[in-house]
C-alpha cells in the first residue's frame, strides 16, 4: 500500500526528498512548521513522518506529531539535536569525540581552559548550523567568557585537525546498514563550501568510521539516513565532530554519481524498501553556491549538474549546489578550472582545494 512521507521542514532537503520520491512514485509532502495543518490529515496509518531540520518550534502540532508512532526516530531525535545530549550519548557509547564540558557557571572558566587547552570553541546546544552560534575563545580572551551569554552552550576543545571527513549511512528497521564512501569536506567560516568523495584511498578510515557509525546506529536503533562528521588527526585517528540525523549537504554528490542517491536511500530505509549498497558510477565533486545568484553560463559545461533551490538571496545562504561528474579525473579538474573563472572570487580557495584533492586521489 502506498505510504505518504511527511517531512518536517520545507527547505531544500525536503525539496530533494520530494524529487527522489517522485521518481519512485512515493508522495513526499514537506511541512512548513509554521503552518497549522490539521493533525488528522497527516497522522494516518499510511503515513511516515521524517525530518529535514534539526530545530523546530515546539508548537502543539509538532508536539503531537512527535508522540505519534509514525514519526521515525521519535525517541532518539531529541537527544541528537541537542549538542549537550548528543555529546553525553557519544561518551556513554564510548565513541571518540572532541573533549567538551557543559557550561554551568562563570567560575568554571579556569577548569575549562585547564581541561580543554588554550583554545576552545563555544557551541550553542541547539539552533546552530553553518557555524552559527559558535565562538572561538582563547585563554587570553577569558574575560569574554560571559556566563549570561553562554549558559546554553557547551565548550569544546579546538582540534588541530588534518582534514574533515563525513560518513553517510542508512539503516532500516530490520537492522540492515549501508554506507557511502567517505566524503572529504572543505569549510570556510564554519560553512561547508565543497565536498569530494574519496573512493580510492580511504579504506582504513572508511573501516574505522563505519564501525563508529554502525555502533551508534545499532545502539540507538536509528532508522534512515544519518551523517557523522569527523576530524582526522595527524596519527590518522578520527574523532566525531557532530552527528546529523538527516540527509546531509556532504552527501549531495550522490545525486549524480551514485545508483541510489542519499534522498532515495533515506526513503527506502524508512519505508522498508530494498536497500542494496549504492553503486558509485563515476568520480564527482560538489560545490555549494552560497549567497550568489545563478549564472546561466555555468550550464555550458556538459559535466555540470545544477541543483537550484529557488530561495531568496542572502549573504551566507545556501542557494544551490553544483555537482561535476566524470569518469576521468583530468576532465573533472578542467571543469573546475573553467568553472572557477565563472564564479566570484570567494570560490578560489574551494576550487584550489578540490584540484589538490583530485591530484592526491587520482
Site string for ligand ATP, 101-130 (x = CB under 6 A): --------------------x-x----xxx
Q: Which does 340 bind (CB under 5 to 8 A by kind): ligand ATP, Mg ion, none?
A: none
By the rule CB under 6 A, 242 interacts with ligand ATP: yes
Q: Closest CB to ligand ATP among 27 and 190?
A: 190
Among 241, 261, 262, 269, binds ligand ATP (CB under 6 A): 241
User: What is the β-pairing status of strands 177-179 and 28-31?
Assistant: unpaired
Q: How far is CA 277 from CA 13, 193, 258, in A?
A: 22, 27, 10
Examine residue 229 and tell whether it contacts ligand ATP (CB under 6 A). yes
82 binds ligand ATP (CB under 6 A): no
Piece in contact with Mg ion (CB under 5 A), picked from 52-60, 89-97, 112-120, 226-234: 226-234
Q: Which residue has the cell 526513503?
A: 267
Q: Which does 135 bind (CB under 5 to 8 A by kind): ligand ATP, Mg ion, none?
A: none
**Residue 242: beta bridge partners?**
229
Smallest gap from residue 27 Cβ to ligand ATP (A) = 28
How many CB atoms are closer than 10 A to CB 16?
23
Edge-to-edge strand ranges of the sheet holding 47-51: 28-31, 4-8, 47-51
Q: Does 99 bind ligand ATP (CB under 6 A)?
A: no
> Is 60 in a helix, a strand, or coil?
helix
- 198 or 242, CB closer to ligand ATP? 242
d(CA 262, CA 16): 10
Q: How many angstroms separate the CA atoms of 134 and 62, rounded?
A: 27
Distances (CA, A) of 272 to 27, 84, 89: 15, 31, 27
Cell of 154: 557547551
Give, in degrees to the nearest 5, the angle at Cα 243 between 238 and 249.
Answer: 100
Give the contact letters, 136-175, x = binds to ligand ATP (CB under 6 A), - = no.
Answer: --------------------xxxx----x-----------
Chain contacts with Mg ion (rule: CB under 5 A): 229
User: Would you tell me which residues interact with ligand ATP (CB under 6 A)?
Assistant: 98, 121, 123, 128-132, 156-159, 164, 187, 190, 229, 241-242
Amino acid at each position: 500500500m502506498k505510504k505518504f512521507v511527511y517531512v518536517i521542514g520545507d527547505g531544500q532537503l525536503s525539496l530533494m526528498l520530494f524529487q527522489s520520491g517522485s521518481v519512485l512514485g512515493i508522495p513526499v509532502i514537506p511541512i512548513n512548521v509554521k503552518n497549522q495543518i490539521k493533525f488528522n490529515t497527516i497522522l494516518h496509518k499510511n503515513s511516515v513522518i521524517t525530518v529535514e531540520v534539526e530545530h523546530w518550534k515546539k508548537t502543539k502540532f509538532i508536539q503531537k506529531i512527535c508522540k505519534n508512532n509514525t514519526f521515525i526516530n521519535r525517541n532518539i531525535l531529541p537527544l541528537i539535536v541537542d549538542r549537550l545530549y548528543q555529546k553525553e550519548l557519544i561518551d556513554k557509547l564510548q565513541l571518540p569525540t572532541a573533549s567538551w564540558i557543559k557550561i554551568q557557571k562563570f567560575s568554571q572558566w579556569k577548569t575549562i581552559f585547564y581541561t580543554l587547552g588554550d583554545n576552545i570553541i563555544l557551541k550553542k546546544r541547539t539552533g546552530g548550523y553553518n557555524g552559527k552560534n559558535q565562538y572561538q575563545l582563547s585563554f587570553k580572551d577569558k574575560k569574554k567568557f560571559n556566563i549570561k551569554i553562554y549558559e546554553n552552550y557547551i565548550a569544546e576543545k579546538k582540534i588541530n585537525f588534518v582534514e574533515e571527513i563525513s560518513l553517510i549511512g542508512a539503516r532500516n528497521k530490520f537492522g540492515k546498514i549501508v554506507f557511502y564512501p567517505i566524503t572529504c569536506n572543505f569549510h570556510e567560516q564554519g560553512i561547508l563550501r565543497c565536498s569530494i568523495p574519496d573512493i580510492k584511498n580511504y579504506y582504513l578510515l572508511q573501516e574505522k568510521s563505519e564501525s563508529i557509525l554502525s555502533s551508534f546506529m545499532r545502539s540507538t536503533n536509528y532508522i534512515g539516513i544519518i551523517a557523522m562528521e569527523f576530524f582526522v588527526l595527524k596519527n590518522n585517528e578520527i574523532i566525531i565532530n557532530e552527528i546529523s540525523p538527516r540527509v546531509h549537504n556532504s552527501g549531495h554528490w550522490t545525486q549524480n554519481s551514485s545508483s541510489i542517491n542519499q534522498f532515495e536511500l533515506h526513503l527506502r530505509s524508512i519505508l522498508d524498501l530494498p536497500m542494496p549498497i549504492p553503486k558509485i558510477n563515476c568520480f564527482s565533486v560538489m560545490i555549494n553556491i552560497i549567497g550568489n545568484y545563478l549564472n546561466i553560463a555555468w550550464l555550458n559545461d556538459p559535466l555540470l549538474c545544477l541543483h537550484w533551490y529557488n530561495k531568496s538571496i542572502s549573504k551566507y545562504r545556501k542557494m544551490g549546489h553544483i555537482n561535476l561528474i566524470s569518469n576521468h579525473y583530468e576532465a573533472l579538474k578542467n571543469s573546475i578550472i573553467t568553472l572557477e573563472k565563472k564564479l566570484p572570487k570567494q570560490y578560489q580557495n574551494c576550487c584550489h582545494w578540490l584540484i589538490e584533492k583530485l591530484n592526491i586521489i587520482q
